[in-house]
Amino acid sequence: MFVLDAQPGLTAVLCALDIGVRCSIVLGVSCPLVLASMALIADVESEKSEDVPRCGGPQSSISRTDIWSPVNALSAGIAHEINNPLGIIGQEAQLLKYLLEQEPFASIEASAGCLESVREIVRQVDRCKEIVNKLLSLARQSDPIIQRTDINTIVVEMANLAERQNLVDKDVKIVRSLRRELPLVHTDPPLVRQVILNLINNAIQAIEKKGTVAISTAPAGEWVEIAITDDGCGIPQENMSKIFTPFYSTKPHGTGTGLGLAICRGIVERLGGQLTVGSEVGKCTTFTVRLPVEGPARSR
Amino acid sequence: MEKFRVLIVDDEDDFVETMVKRLKSKGLEAEGVNRGHAALELLRHKEFDVCVLDVRMPGMDGIETLREMKKRDPSLEVIILTGHGSVESGIQGLQLGAYNYVMKPVPFPELLEQIVQAYERKVIEEERRQHRLVHDAPEL
């Protein structure tokens, strides 16, 4: 790193840029590796499920935990490696932003353009952080922590949260149909919350303008079922096998990471359950989570 | 109730004060601060079992604070409080390892129940870690 000016402000700016460049190299090398490892999963065929869905049409349920472990370990390792440089880029960009807002830079006309660039860096770093987070969440191998859990309470909490959010451009009604006689389930409450909230969020996003998201719970022998149905756009049959694949997304570019459903499936399987989907294009989609009342086999 | 340590982080001083008072009256150790940075500073030299963290605060927001807390001490259980429903930040918080994402206003008994459950989780995890230490230790 060469220093053009002895002025401390400028030196700091140049140092920050230097760190940024080095970190981008790390990112440039690591990201394709993560993507390549994830592409392995894309080749997996889906298996048909015997479950009865709330929404008719084609169904999909993939259950191939075995291929996940090495890929997960690799992506977790890479995500960790990316996290640190990402943190540094973020901090240095914040510092740059602060310096550019102070004198002497504030009064230089060209600073405005630099400031806008730095702001964009901050935004994009935040986006990368989010993706890394999701990757780590996808790969997290720690065993679930089992507590006796009231699934109805979790569903109500998450539905209330979704209901209270301000939907600017759409009118979505959330309907709950919860069976009172549901047994307490031995499962990991925060993980179940994450799955339910993700599925409710997807259901809302599937509705274009006006629609209903119906959430129901029911006991099913040694299982408890949670079904989330939307009357939105539906999933075409050719996409059914892909929806649980990491980085597969139909949301507009830059808005979804394509990791939500992959994370949900990973969690449900770790809890000893199944996540299935049934859909009719233009009519409805139901995601069904089945959790074993007695918890995952390993924890018993 | 078993005595454990709760940290309240919220920019509403009245809320912090009331919560600390009520938790203490239940026999718990409780302390409160009104900024994310202050919480992280406090955690440097003091251990807590459960943290109740407001998502919207001036300066460092709840999500950023949570990220930092979990990085430093993954065993700290965190309950996030939110005044407005935000599904995105809810997902983000849970993904970062929050125990729950609770809508404000929340009745005290309900929040207390959440805090107790979060503590139970911490105890289970600690027992598991101890168990692993004993069983995985190399034989001498």
**Is B91 within 8 Å of A198 when comparing Cβ atoms?**
yes
**Is A194 within 8 Å of B91 when comparing Cβ atoms?**
yes
A212 — contact with chain B (CB < 8 Å)?
no
CA-nearest of A254, A42, A262 to A135 is A262
User: What percent of chain A is helix, strand and coil (3-state, nearest 5)?
Assistant: 50, 20, 30
- At A59 the pLDDT is 64
B120 — contact with chain A (CB < 8 Å)?
yes
Q: Quote the CA–CA distance of B107 and A182 in Å, as a whole number.
A: 24
**Is B87 within 8 Å of A204 when comparing Cβ atoms?**
yes
Number of H helices, E strands in chain A: 7, 8
Between β-strands B5-9 and B29-33, what pairing exists: parallel, antiparallel or unpaired? parallel
**Is B96 within 8 Å of A133 when comparing Cβ atoms?**
yes
Task: Yes or no: say if A60 and A47 are a contact pair by the CB < 8 Å rule.
Answer: no
A133 — contact with chain B (CB < 8 Å)?
yes
The per-residue pLDDT of chain B, averaged, comes to: 91
**Is B91 within 8 Å of A143 when comparing Cβ atoms?**
no
- What is the full per-residue pLDDT of chain B (140 aa) written as tens digits? 778 999 999 999 999 999 999 999 999 999 999 999 999 999 999 999 999 999 999 988 899 999 999 988 889 999 999 887 688 888 889 988 999 999 888 999 999 999 999 999 999 988 888 887 787 766 65
B136 — contact with chain A (CB < 8 Å)?
no
- What is the full per-residue pLDDT of chain A (300 aa) written as tens digits? 444 444 555 555 555 556 555 545 544 544 444 444 443 333 333 333 334 346 766 666 544 444 455 666 677 777 778 878 888 898 899 899 989 988 888 888 888 889 999 999 988 888 888 788 777 766 665 678 999 999 999 999 999 988 888 777 789 999 999 999 999 999 999 999 999 999 999 999 899 889 999 999 999 999 999 999 999 989 888 888 888 887 777 776 656 677 789 889 989 999 999 999 999 998 999 999 999 999 998 666
**Is A193 within 8 Å of B94 when comparing Cβ atoms?**
yes
**Is A147 within 8 Å of B120 when comparing Cβ atoms?**
yes
B94 — contact with chain A (CB < 8 Å)?
yes
Q: Quote the CA–CA distance of A99 and A80 in Å, as a whole number.
A: 29
Find the closest chain A residue to B99 by CA distance.
A190
Query: A189-206 and A151-164 helices cross at what angle (nearest 10)?
Result: 40
- At A13 the pLDDT is 55
Q: Quote the CA–CA distance of A138 and A76 in Å, as a whole number.
A: 8
B123 — contact with chain A (CB < 8 Å)?
no
